[in-house]
Structure formats: structure tokens, C-alpha cells
Amino acid sequence: MSKKLGWFLAGGLLVAILLAGVVSNFASSSPDGLDATVREGCTFNAEGEITGGHCIAQEEGEHQLGDSPLADYGVRGLGDGPLSTLVAGTAGVLITFGIGAGLFWVTRRRQKTDA
């Protein structure tokens, strides 16, 4: 791997970690477009619970991976604070980068042996 490519990958990884771990703490807590559409037609109380009407959100259930260590953009055991988001975002970026790098390594290695 060339030195330029290494610096490029390191820079990209650093930017991704900063975005996922730090900038994500400043994301809006308001419902996004999909959430707003799913909630359309229902009425809600102050806690965000459905109190009436009819909407798609009434059919939602618990996610199968809701008990996983990185569920809900946080780390179980660290609470709901910025540290939890920072650790979850950083872990997500590193895991994704590791899987991608591993797949590229396997593919590149396979191409060399086939040639």
C-alpha cells in the first residue's frame, strides 16, 4: 500500500469517527421524515405515547436486536449521554471499516491466487 493511500484511508477513517462519534451528539431529537410519516394520523401525549387516532406507528413492535450492546445509538451500561453515543458511533465505524477491509483483503488475495 502506498503512503498516500494510507494517509487517505486514515484521514477518511478519522472523519468518519468524528462524524459518528462527536457530531451525532448534536443531531436533532425531533422525528425525521420517516418517523413523522409513520406517526401521521395519531395523537400523542407529552411523553410521545399514542393516545388516539390511527397511524402506522400503532403497529410497531420491539426490534429483534433491541437488546444488543449497541442498540438505540448507544452502549448498554453507559446510559443515554454523549459518552454512550461517542462509543457506539466509534465502535460502529471501526467494525464497519474492519469488515470492509477484511472483504477487500480476501478479494484481493483470491484474485492473486487465481491469476
User: Of the segments 13-17, 20-24, 54-58, 73-77, which one has the largest average pLDDT value?
Assistant: 13-17
pLDDT-derived band at 31 (thresholds 50, 70, 90) equals: low
Grid coordinates belonging to 11: 484521514
The whole model's pTM is what? Answer: 0.65
Q: Are 24 and 85 in contact (CB under 8 A)?
A: yes
Q: At 44, which helix (H) or strand (E)?
A: strand 42-44
Residue 111: its pLDDT value, please?
67
Residue of 48, 14, 15, 12 lying closest to 29 (CA atoms): 48
